[in-house]
Amino acid sequence: MNQQASLIVETSSGEMEHFGMKNFLSLIDNYRQETDLEILTNFDHGPGLEECQAAIEAGYNLVHFDGSHLPYEENVKITKILVEQAHQKGVLVEAEMDRILGESRAHLETPESIQASGSYTDPDRAAAFVAETGCDILAVFIGNLHGVYQQEPRLDLERLRLIAQKVPCFLSLHGGSGLLEDDVKEAIQIGKIVKINVNTELRLAYRTTLENVLRGSDEVAIYKIMPPVIAAVQKVVEEKIQLFRQKQTCLFGHQ
């Protein structure tokens, strides 16, 4: 099914090293020309100043600097530098103040046990961070977790409302895999969420289907065994587009 939807496609730093920045950007540019779709590129969870600067110079449309592992003042300092450089080239900067927990895999732990080990985004602190850095998008932690779990993580939607009221920039929701659909819909309706990251569901659909195909076939021509794998990933993508379509903005990539 052709959804004709705007998308953001991204690479993590590890995926960037695997593909190469120029190769990835060229691939997306070719696809833009073939489909005439609005597709933005994002460098996700950039770990440091130099990596994010390289992504800006290479031509990514958005750069996400994850300074949540740094002291607050150092995070602010680097984010400000990146905002100034990025804006000169028309590139948007996403910042992260509070570490979004979990990993891109299937978890046996309960989401509550992981949520409890982190610090949810404080609305006033978030407003101060955005005022100091001038970032375009803030990645918030309101219970959203990287990965998928035995039960869906619940979002603190009241906290999101307070953040949206106090913060002037847009917001992003990482850990979009495995969330309750009603929570996602309400988060979008609250406003300012313009980017939702989905990755683990795509990876699991890819790997599970590929394993099943390989078990039932002795084919060695890779292109011949890929159609059902691609179809499985496409199904997840289409479902997410339909869920997120309230804002016409979603991201399929890391998370």
Residues with a known catalytic role: 44
Alpha carbons 141 and 61: distance in angstroms, whole number: 23
Q: How many CB atoms lie within 10 A of CB 228?
A: 11
CA distance 105 to 113: 16
| 187, 193 Cβ separation under 8 angstroms | yes
d(CA 38, CA 218): 39
CA-based angle 64:242:181, to the nearest 5? 80
CA pair distance 197, 199, nearest whole angstrom: 7
Question: What is residue 133's three-state secondary structure?
Answer: helix
Distance of CA 250 to the CA centre of its chain: 8
The packing angle between helices 123-133 and 72-88, to 10°, is: 50
Instruction: Retrieve residue 20's tokens.
Output: 């190469």
Instruction: Quote the CA–CA distance of 81 and 133 in Å, as a whole number.
Output: 9
